[in-house]
Amino acid sequence: MRFLVVFLVFLLSANVEAKDLQIYFSPSSVCENKVVEYIDKSKKRIDVAVYAINNDEIVKALKRAHDRGVKIRILTDRLQASNKNSKVRELYKYGINIRVHSKFKIEHNKFAIYDDEVVSGGSLNWTNPATHKNSENCLFFIENDEALEEYQSRFAYLWRINTKKKSD
């Protein structure tokens, strides 16, 4: 047990990259850049469950992916989507498939699945303050089948229970 605690402290004390796990912290642009990198690398599908979206670079990357024909599904928080700084309406008008939550008190997840190969998670909202002002973390699981399966299952469940009819 003591070894596990020491190991976790070590992992969380600095940016870490391993073959199938990358860990970064903000405030800095590294999390934003990694999210944009994986959006830009995606060829088929991106599934996102995120509390808030207003990060300019991430929004631009999502639009580029949509223009390339990448299937994008975003589930976000209803209250945050209606915030004056939110980019959710802009993405919806652009043609991206967006649902706002209709179950649970808030949609507070912050994860994305890129081409069924990479999963990002952590505390990072896809917002400008999360990148430039807040103390946040972001994790990237690279070709980690166990993490991928768990996040795919959770996203499928959330997408199913938060219907389009209730989102409109």
pLDDT tens digits, residue range 51-64?
999 999 999 999 99
Q: One of 56, 115, 132, 145 is an active-site residue; which one?
A: 115
Q: Rounded to an integer, what distance in angstroms lies between the CA atom of residue 35 and that of residue 168?
A: 27
Is residue 29's pLDDT more than 90?
yes
> Cα(49)–Cα(113) distance, rounded to whole angstroms?
9
| Sheet with strand 21-26: strands edge to edge | 16-17, 21-26, 136-142, 118-122, 110-114, 45-50, 71-76, 97-100
pLDDT, residue 77, reads 93
Residues 40, 60, 108, 116: which is the catalytic one? 108
Tens digits of per-residue pLDDT, 70-124?
999 999 999 899 989 999 999 999 999 999 988 888 899 999 999 999 999 999 9
pLDDT at 14 over 50: no
* Helix/strand/coil for 129: helix
Asked if residue 31 lies in contact with residue 126, where contact means CB atoms within 8 angstroms, the answer is no
What is the distance of C-alpha 77 from the center of its chain?
13
The whole-number pLDDT of residue 19 equals 62
Of 48 and 17, more confident:
48
Q: Which residues pair with 16 in a beta bridge?
A: 23
Share of the chain above pLDDT 90, in %: 77
Q: Which residue has the higher pLDDT, 16 or 151?
A: 151
Mean pLDDT of 39-56: 97
Which residue in the list 66, 87, 101, 110 is annotated as catalytic? 110
Instruction: Please say if 108 is a catalytic residue.
Output: yes
